[in-house]
Chains A and B, each alone.
Chain A
Amino acid sequence: QKEVEQNSGPLSVPEGAIASLNCTYSDRGSQSFFWYRQYSGKSPELIMFIYSNGDKEDGRFTAQLNKASQYVSLLIRDSQPSDSATYLCAVDSGGSNYKLTFGKGTLLTVNP
């Protein structure tokens, strides 16, 4: 069974710090990797995607992918209280990116 594992947290960081969120996945055939942010009681919204090994930066967010280690991470620099949310890692199913498998998410709290 294809699995996506995340530390459920909560991860608590002070305002202005770097938050580091991690995700491992079991399907070696996966090609596409996504980070979704979900505020409490709301639906997920896409914040980052990465398809190639290495780093991808977008503003304060950096996604990192290591396919050999089956590991993907999200760094949030200069964390703000508005970043407090659950971050869901999602991975495609063996190259079929019509279907995503989501992790349970990591709850991030940024303290003012």
Chain B
Amino acid sequence: DAMVIQNPRYQVTQFGKPVTLSCSQTLNHNVMYWYQQKSSQAPKLLFHYYDKDFNNEADTPDNFQSRRPNTSFCFLDIRSPGLGDAAMYLCATSRAGPRTGELFFGEGSRLTVL
């Protein structure tokens, strides 16, 4: 089945130790997103790619970086995680065009920072 796969599902890291989360998709969608969701809060968009065009949200901290080496893969790098970065990180994809807002989410990567 076509899907969005995130790895790892659970990541424990130490304060300041870099982390990379990955996302792959078999849907062949143009647009890929990274959202951060903390407990009982709305998903917050960090950045998105339209094909190779990278779009960073104005309030996304510099500590967060992303790479999209090809259509299928996208990575989220957290260079120096702080306690406040503990959250669920959600990768999502969508088709470009009129139905772009119909997002397909991966199962998420839950990050714990010790």
Contacts and interface: CB of A to CB of B under 8 A. Distances in A.
B16 to A, nearest CB: 27
B101 A49 contact: yes
Interface residues of B, number: 25
Contacts of B31: 98
B40 interface: yes
A102 B101 contact: no
Given A32-B101, A88-B43, A98 B50 contact: yes
Contacts of A100: 45, 101, 103
B86 to A, nearest CB: 15
B100 interface: yes
B90 interface: yes
B105 A43 contact: yes
B30 to A, nearest CB: 10
Question: Nearest 10 CB-CB pairs, A to B?
Answer: A43-B105, A102-B42, A97-B101, A32-B101, A97-B100, A104-B42, A43-B108, A102-B43, A98-B100, A92-B101
Interface of A: 4, 8, 32, 34, 36, 42-46, 49, 88, 90, 92, 97-105
Given A32-B101, A44-B103, A99-B48, 9 more contacts: A8-B40, A43-B88, A43-B90, A43-B107, A43-B108, A98-B100, A99-B55, A100-B103, A101-B42
